Amino acid sequence: MWTRESEAEVHLIMMRVLVIEDESKTAAYLEQGLSEAGFVVDVARRGDEGYLRARTGAPDLVVLDITLPRRDGWQILRDLRGQGVDIPILCLTARDAVSDRVRGLDLGADDYLVKPFAFSELLARIRSLLRRGGPQVTDVLAVSDLEVDLIRRRARRAGRGLDLSPKEFSLLAFLVRRQGEVLSRAMLAAEVWGMPRGTDSNVVDVAIRRLRAKVDEPFDTHLIHTVRGVGYVLEARPERS
């Protein structure tokens, strides 16, 4: 549901993600959501258990809750990095004081998400961490009949040049680069416009609407799709009947 296989995503399939989380509902939906997104998910409900599996199970990425019984997230983070384990670690916490964030990153976390977070956001971050060091993004990206030239900052669809404003191009380029991923409004506001979290993100709807008018409306198939309550995704979907 969260993603569809596309060429750019193929290399992420069958990646192993270890989730260390004690809260049962959270653990359950993380397991389900990540499995359905194509990851092989392993869940540890206790800190000590999580630490062992992180060391011995050779996961590709660890999603680590900070408040855990037995051995808390900080401790696991310190121990794993101390043991030279350098797999990407993404921390989850309900505390978002900046000092906590800094502490997490200082201890060697690769990313940090504050609860409550959008699952789409988690997915995007996980993919971004796994892509790190992965195949280099090419200069020209294509989805269906849409071509985006990142160097010349030009976009064409069905061979016709699209007349986009600089920001519209940035938005489209971001969507294309993350094709197949559902991107939240807050994430788009932050990544494309550099606006902080908590900004009135409805503005993104207007920008997307205008982009659609140029990229989708003149053509038969639509590439930009709304995922209600979550955000937007750019992908080639099978023709609607």
Partner 1 sequence: MISAARRSVPSLRMRLTAYFGASTMLILSVAGTVLYANLSLGLRSEDATVIRGKAEVVRGILARYPDQPEMLEEEVVLEPAVRIIQPYFARVLDPAVGTLYETPGMSEAIPSAAFLPPPASGAADPDPTTRHTPGGRIFLVLTVRATPEREGGRTIQVALDVTRDALILARQRRLLIALILLGVAISGTAGYLTARRGLRPLARITEATQRVTAAQLDQRIGTHPWPAELAELAAVFDGMMKRLEDSFDRLSSFSANLAHELRTPLTNLRGEAEVALSRSRTEDEYREVLESALEEYDRLTRLIDRLLFLARADAGAADLERRRLSARDEMEAVRDYYASVADERGVALLCRGQADVVADPMLLRRALGNLVANALEHTPAGGEVTLSACGDSDGVRFVVADTGHGIDEADVPHVFERFYRSTDGGGTASGTGLGLPLVASIARLHGGWASLSGTPDKGTSVTLFLPRTSTGPTRDMTAL
The answer to whether 40 contacts partner 1 (rule: CB under 8 A) is no
Q: Using an 8 Å Cβ cutoff, are 120 and 2 in contact?
A: yes
**Which one of 133, 159, 198, 238 is in contact with partner 1 (CB under 8 A)?**
198
Among 8, 41, 173, 189, binds partner 1 (CB under 8 A): 189
Closest residue by Cα to residue 125 from 17, 237, 11: 17
Q: Is 182 in the site for partner 1 (CB under 8 A)?
A: no
Interaction between residue 194 and partner 1 (CB under 8 A): yes
Task: For residue 206, state whether it binds partner 1 (rule: CB under 8 A).
Answer: yes
Q: Alpha carbon of 108 to those of 30, 49, 51, 75, 113: distances in Å?
A: 22, 20, 15, 11, 14
Phi, psi of 39 (to 5 degrees): -95, 155
State yes or no: residue 130 binds partner 1 (CB under 8 A): no
CB of 113 to partner 1, least distance (A): 12
Which of 106, 200, 217, 239 lies at the binding interface for partner 1 (CB under 8 A)? 200
The SS3 assignment for 127 reads helix
As a whole number of angstroms, the distance between CA 86 and CA 202 comes to 38
Does 228 interact with partner 1 (rule: CB under 8 A)? yes
Whole-angstrom distance, CA of residue 38 vs CA of residue 114: 23
Residue 56, Cβ neighbours under 10 Å: how many?
8
Enumerate residues 75-104 that contact partner 1 by CB under 8 A: 96-99
| Distance (Å, whole) CA 220 – CA 44 | 47
Task: For residue 113, state whether it binds partner 1 (rule: CB under 8 A).
Answer: no
CB of 180 to partner 1, least distance (A): 20
207 binds partner 1 (CB under 8 A): yes
Q: State the minimum distance, in angstroms, from the CB of residue 192 to partner 1.
A: 9
Strands 183-184 and 224-227: unpaired
If the CB atoms of residues 198 and 238 are measured against partner 1, the closer one turns out to be 198
Judged by the rule CB under 8 A, the positions of this chain that interact with partner 1 are 96-99, 116, 167, 189, 193-200, 203, 206-207, 210, 228-230
